[in-house]
Chains A and B, each alone.
Chain A
Amino acid sequence: MMHRRTALKLGAALATIGLPAGAAESEVAIHNNVELSGTGVTSGSMWKMGVDLAVKEINAAGGILGRKIAITHQDNQSQPQIAKAVATKAADAEPYVMLGPIFSGDVNVSMAVAENAEIPMIMGGEAANLTQQGMKYLFRTSLNQASAMPKLANYLAKNGVKSMVVVWGANDFGKGGRDAMVKEMAARNIKLAADISTEPGQMDFSPVVVNASKANADALFSYMNEEESARFLIALKKLGYDKPVYGETVLVSQKVIELAGPAANGAKGHVGLSVDAPNPKVQEFGRKFMQAYNTSSDHNGIKGYTAVYLVKAATEKLGKFDRKAMAAAIHGGSFSAAQYPGLLMDESYDDKGDLDRESYLVEIKDGKQVITEVLPPVGKK
């Protein structure tokens, strides 16, 4: 028979477990559902570092409306089913905002959880379909593929590309990018010379390079995640592929340049975010990031950083902590970097949660991303 004291202890323990895991009154809880292992670790780690840097800065400056941010990071292992479980557990704790995931496949299964719990979810996915499903609580931190690909396709057409090989990663991100690019190519009469899918985590790209060479196209477009992009660039160089290689954001990102080394030189593409952008606020962020982590931030670092500052900007604009009102305020809202410097760039959101801002055409030279053209926000055209 259980002793009375033991029963009391057990009851107290159960009562403690049952308490909401939310932050204290002086804090505001933010949950980060992020890829810290598995194939998305490169993206997720950068995002996390960006988030941590922003949280540190905001808390040092007094927090959001006087409340410090209590951030919780949870690894979703780059697996959709785990990402959903992480989101479900996080929703039970009722955080003010959910950040992440970064991989579109992980976002795809997690966003319904945030929607049902009416918690704003600021994520890093770029697949076009994510924001086309009428979610009221889902927001991007970068341009979506449907906005970015036309910019790159215009550039390709302007440079006389008539046929192109498309190499893409077989996941939501890669397939979404492939579909968006193929559509834009067709609209500009650029022939799809070869359509090659690759596996997430693929190590050896020799067959892909040989198939791409056989297609004898004017150029090659690559759309995979960071590790695969780096290995692919190394394989292209190793097997002497000599046609222009283009990418959107990832292929020409700082992390891929670091991993691929000299093999990245010559790659060209469009990026929505870059620490080398001709923007003093972004460059200052790049310096702070380097100082904090001794590594250069890629687009995911900027996305994580601006995600937290978007929470701050939207909340301060409202003047209160209200999840529903915050989501409504971001939809159709515009945020100026002059008023909210942590956002780094002016940004505006449409009614779907897609954002619009300036972007860049870049080329990799001597291991560095060189901005060749600044493109205005789509809405300003």
Chain B
Amino acid sequence: MTDFLQLVIAGTATGGCYALAALGFTLLWQASGTINFALGEMVMLPAFMMLFFMSVLGLPLPLAFLATLALSLLVMGYGFKRVVVDPLIRHDVITLVIATLGLSIGVRQAVKGVASAQVFTFPSVFSDTLLTIGGVRVSAGDIGTVVVACTIVLALQAFLNRTVTGRAMQAVAQNRDAATVLGIKVERMVLYAFLINAALAAVSALLITPVYLAKFDMGDTLGLKAFYAAIIGGFNNSRGALLGGVLVGVLENLVGTYISPGYKEGVALVLFMVVIVFRPQGLLGTVEERKV
């Protein structure tokens, strides 16, 4: 039983990181109808930004994170929206999807060119203390990751549901034309979604890179699993992203341990396919109707 609980906690921590990235998918979809397949690279990029601030400028990790956060908001939030999304959104989703796929390759190769294809170590924001709770050994890092991920998801949920800005963002997601008529500044709301997405990517990088290690292609797996998690949980529900992420993280651990490590990497895909077939709107998502 202790093994099982240990796997569930470790899986929840990993799933929490998937969830933060998945949240990026759901937010952008809700706010602007955008699917961003460069999301994995948007997690990788802040990891290298932090490494740059720490190793070149000598900043401690907290300051390096804050500097990265600011840069991420500028480049991956504002810049991404203005340079990539705005010119292409007027066409169709497929155009934008292809553009983000291209962007992901471009960013990956650019980082490889600048920082080399080597893997780099990355410090953890949490201590490496091992705690024993009820006979279960849990690392402080795992607990910290779960707490941070859950707090962010719940805070975001509260922001979207209980603040005027959050409700305005939801209104834009539901009907842009009606939101415009109601006097909501649609473009500003969409920008907020991109900025939040960039911040989530930076936090995700901070949490996952100490375990995954920093490498130019570290976003491949993460981006894909976050996408699966978003679909599984429901593309139009923020809590769904958390559920999807945690479900994938925990099931990967359980399958890897009790069935075979060889099947571990296929768990997210199988779950994704089951959900797509039996509940296309995702576990917590709602059915959307669109005119075509």
Chain A residue contacts of B261, Cβ below 8 A? 196-199, 207-208, 211
Per-residue B-contact encoding for A32-45, CB less than 8 Å = 1, 0 else: 00001110011001
Check A207 against B213 for contact (C-beta < 8 Å). Answer: no
Q: Which of B6, B7, B211, B264 contacts A234 (CB 8 A)?
A: B211
Interface pick from B38-46, B137-145, B190-198: B137-145
Interface of A is mostly: helix
* Nearest-Cβ distance from residue A233 to partner chain B, whole angstroms: 11
Q: How large is the interface on B (under 10, 10 to 19, 20 to 34, 35 or more residues)?
A: 35 or more
Q: A198-B261, A240-B137 are in contact. List 12 more A-B contacts (CB 8 A).
A: A41-B116, A45-B117, A203-B212, A207-B7, A207-B253, A207-B256, A211-B261, A227-B213, A231-B213, A237-B130, A238-B128, A261-B123
Residue A262 is within 8 A (CB to CB) of chain B in the complex: yes
Taking the closest CB of chain A, its distance from the CB of B208, in whole angstroms, is: 9
Q: How large is the interface on A (under 10, 10 to 19, 20 to 34, 35 or more residues)?
A: 35 or more
What residues of chain B lie closer than 8 Å to A170, measured between beta carbons?
A: 262
Contact, CB under 8 Å: A37 / B112? yes
B119 & A237 in contact (Cβ 8 Å cutoff): no
B121 within 8 Å of A (CB atoms): yes
Cβ of B226 to closest chain A Cβ, rounded Å:
13
As a 0/1 sequence over residues 257 to 296 of chain A, the CB contacts with chain B under 8 angstroms (1 = contact) are 0111111000000000000000000000000000000000
Interchain nearest-CB distance for B81 vs A (Å): 30
Q: Chain A residue with minimal CB distance to B141?
A: A238
Bound form: Cα–Cα A45–B3 in Å? 38
Measured CB to CB, the closest approach of chain B to A184, in angstroms, equals 24
Residues A211 and B257 in contact in the complex (CB < 8 Å), given A199-B262, A259-B121:
yes
Contact assessment for B121 and A258 in the assembled complex, using a CB-CB cutoff below 8 Å: yes
Taking CB atoms and an 8 Å cut-off, the chain A residues in 211-238 that contact chain B are 211, 213-214, 226-227, 230-231, 234-235, 237-238
B239 contacts the other chain (Cβ, under 8 Å)? no
A residues lining the B interface (CB < 8 Å): 36-38, 41-42, 45, 170, 196-199, 203-204, 206-208, 210-211, 213-214, 226-227, 230-231, 234-235, 237-240, 258-263
Contact B121 A37 (CB under 8 A): no
Q: How far is the CA of A207 from the CA of B10 in the complex (A)?
A: 9
Q: Which of B6, B252, B262 contacts A210 (CB 8 A)?
A: B6
Q: How far is the CA of A263 from the CA of B123 in the complex (A)?
A: 12
Contacts of B117 in A (CB 8 A): 36-38, 41, 45
> Could you tell me the distance in whole angstroms from the C-beta of A208 to the nearest C-beta in chain B?
6
Shortest distance from the beta carbon of B233 to any chain A beta carbon, whole Å: 20
Cβ contact within 8 Å between B256 and A208: yes
Subset of 27 A-B contacts with CB under 8 Å: A37-B117, A38-B117, A42-B119, A170-B262, A196-B261, A203-B212, A203-B221, A204-B264, A206-B11, A207-B253, A210-B253, A210-B257, A227-B119, A230-B121, A230-B213, A234-B210, A238-B141, A238-B142, A239-B6, A239-B137, A240-B130, A240-B137, A259-B120, A259-B121, A260-B121, A262-B128, A263-B128
**Distance between Cα atoms of A234 and B142 in the complex (Å):** 12
Output the least CB separation between A107 and chain B (Å): 20
**B contact residues vs A (CB 8 Å cutoff):** 3, 6-7, 10-11, 14, 112, 116-121, 123, 128, 130, 137, 139, 141-142, 210-213, 215, 221, 252-257, 261-262, 264-265
Nearest CB in chain B to that of A211: its residue: B257
Give Cα distance in the complex from A140 to B120, angstroms: 28
Across-interface contacts of A227 in B (CB, < 8 A)? 119, 213, 215
Contact of B212 with A199 in the complex, beta carbons under 8 Å: no
CB closest chain-B residue, reference A235: B211
- A-B CB proximity, top 3 nearest: A207-B256, A240-B137, A207-B257
In the complex, the answer to whether B118 meets A45 with C-beta atoms within 8 Å is yes
Residues in chain B near residue A45, CB distance under 8 A: 116-118
> Which residues of chain B have C-beta atoms less than 8 A from A204's C-beta?
14, 211, 252-253, 256, 264
Q: How far does the alpha carbon of A210 sit from the alpha carbon of B3 in the complex, in Å?
A: 6
A197 to B256, CA, bound (A): 11
A38 to B128, CA, bound (A): 29
A136 to B14, CA, bound (A): 49
B140 to chain A: closest residue by CB? A238
Question: Could you tell me if A207 and B137 are in contact, using CB atoms closer than 8 angstroms?
Answer: no
A54 CB to nearest B CB, Å: 20
Residue in B3, B139, B213, B215 whose CB lies within 8 Å of A238: B139
Q: Which of chain A's residues have a CB closer than 8 A to the CB of B112?
A: 37
Q: Within the assembled complex, what's the spacing in Å between the Cα atoms of A342 and B26?
A: 58
- Inter-chain CA distance A226–B118, complex, in Å, is 11
Contact A42 B253 (CB under 8 A): no
A210 to B259, CA, bound (A): 13
Q: Are A213 and B7 in contact (CB under 8 A)?
A: no
- Tell whether, in the assembled complex, residue A206 and residue B7 are in contact, meaning their CB atoms are under 8 Å apart: yes
- Which residues from chain B contact A230 at a C-beta distance below 8 Å? 119, 121, 213
